[in-house]
């Protein structure tokens, strides 16, 4: 697997510090930075990042726009924080013991299964990552990081193919894209509680790998 750096853009003045409490209006629940990022991710997914204003975000959170600007520079800082949650979850998988040791196929299957779990746990943030258009500096940074992650998957597919763990004649580049497509398509229909997570993981594993695995030679039956 190629080396992957876990770089992120440097923090800038006005970006949200972790755990900073935000002011609330009377009768509204308190928000900290983490929950405010969740609100922003939801609104960005519903309206589109470009079409979302700070007024939209403040209305969704039930706080004043001045409260936002007291703690963050603007909506791009919220976008970056939401994307970091998705990317940190995905890149964290690559550092897990089961993703770094064992056969290429075993590592690949572990990563794909964990991708599903991260997607479910960080559904709004991963959805946002997968729908980026690259219109801002933050979006282009995140798209670059996503390509790094996809390259790591593609390298493992090539290694598994070279080791004879996948069916002969398959194109590793195509297989890597198909694997990513199966997992990423979940953001279009999965909703929490619809399918137990463990069942979803098992089904994605079956669908993703059943047709890719190298088949053991069939035992020739002796004629009677």
Average pLDDT over residues 142-153: 95
Q: Please check whether residues 116 and 147 belong to one and the same domain.
A: yes
The predicted pLDDT at position 213 comes to 67
DSSP secondary structure letter of residue 117: H
Q: Using a cut of 0.85, tell me whether the model's pTM lies above it.
A: no
Q: Please check whether residues 126 and 199 belong to one and the same domain.
A: yes
Q: Please check whether residues 98 and 182 belong to one and the same domain.
A: yes
Q: Please check whether residues 198 and 88 belong to one and the same domain.
A: yes
Q: Please check whether residues 58 and 139 belong to one and the same domain.
A: no
Transcribe 156-181 into DSSP letters: HHHHHHHTT-B-TT--HHHHHHHHHH
Determine the Cα–Cα distance for residues 40 and 122; give it in Å rounded to an integer: 13
Tens-place pLDDT, residues 188-223: 999 888 889 999 999 999 988 886 666 544 443 443
Tens-place pLDDT, residues 155-164: 999 999 999 9
Does residue 17 lie within any of the structural domains? no
Q: Is residue 56 a contact partner of residue 39, using CB atoms and an 8 Å limit?
A: no
Q: Please check whether residues 165 and 107 belong to one and the same domain.
A: yes
End-to-end, the C-alpha distance of the chain in Å comes to: 50
The predicted pLDDT at position 223 comes to 38
Does residue 161 lie within any of the structural domains? yes
* Number of folded domains that form the chain: 2
Residue 182's domain spans which residues? 82-209
Q: Is residue 173 a contact partner of residue 191, using CB atoms and an 8 Å limit?
A: no
Q: What burial class does residue 19 get, using C-beta atoms within 10 Å of its C-beta: 0-12 exposed, 13-18 middle, 19+ buried?
A: exposed
Does residue 50 lie within any of the structural domains? yes
Q: Please check whether residues 65 and 89 belong to one and the same domain.
A: no
The CATH code of the domain that includes 203 is 1.10.357.10
Nearest to 152 by CA among 110, 198, 190, 123: 110
Tens-place pLDDT, residues 52-110: 998 999 899 888 888 777 767 788 999 999 999 999 999 999 999 999 999 999 999 99
């Amino acid at each position: 697997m190629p080396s992957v750096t876990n770089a992120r853009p440097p923090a800038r003045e006005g970006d949200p510090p972790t755990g900073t409490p935000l002011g609330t209006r009377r009768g509204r629940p308190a928000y900290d930075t983490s929950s405010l990022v969740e609100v922003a991710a939801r609104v960005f997914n519903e309206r589109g990042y470009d079409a979302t204003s700070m007024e939209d975000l403040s209305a969704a959170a039930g706080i004043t726009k001045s409260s936002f600007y007291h703690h963050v520079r603007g909506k791009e800082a919220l976008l970056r924080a939401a994307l970091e949650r998705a990317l940190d979850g995905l890149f964290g998988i690559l550092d897990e013991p089961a993703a770094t040791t064992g056969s290429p196929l075993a590592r690949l299957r572990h990563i794909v299964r964990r991708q599903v779990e991260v997607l479910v746990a960080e559904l709004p943030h991963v959805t946002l990552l997968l729908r980026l258009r690259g219109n801002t500096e933050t979006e282009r940074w995140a798209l670059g990081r996503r390509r790094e992650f996809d390259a790591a998957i593609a390298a493992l597919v090539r290694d598994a193919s070279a080791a004879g763990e996948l069916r002969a004649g398959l194109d590793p580049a195509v297989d890597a894209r198909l694997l990513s497509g199966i997992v990423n398509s979940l953001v279009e229909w999965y909703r929490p509680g619809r399918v137990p997570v463990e069942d979803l993981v098992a089904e994605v594993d079956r669908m993703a790998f059943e047709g890719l695995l190298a088949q053991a030679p069939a035992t020739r039956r002796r004629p009677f």
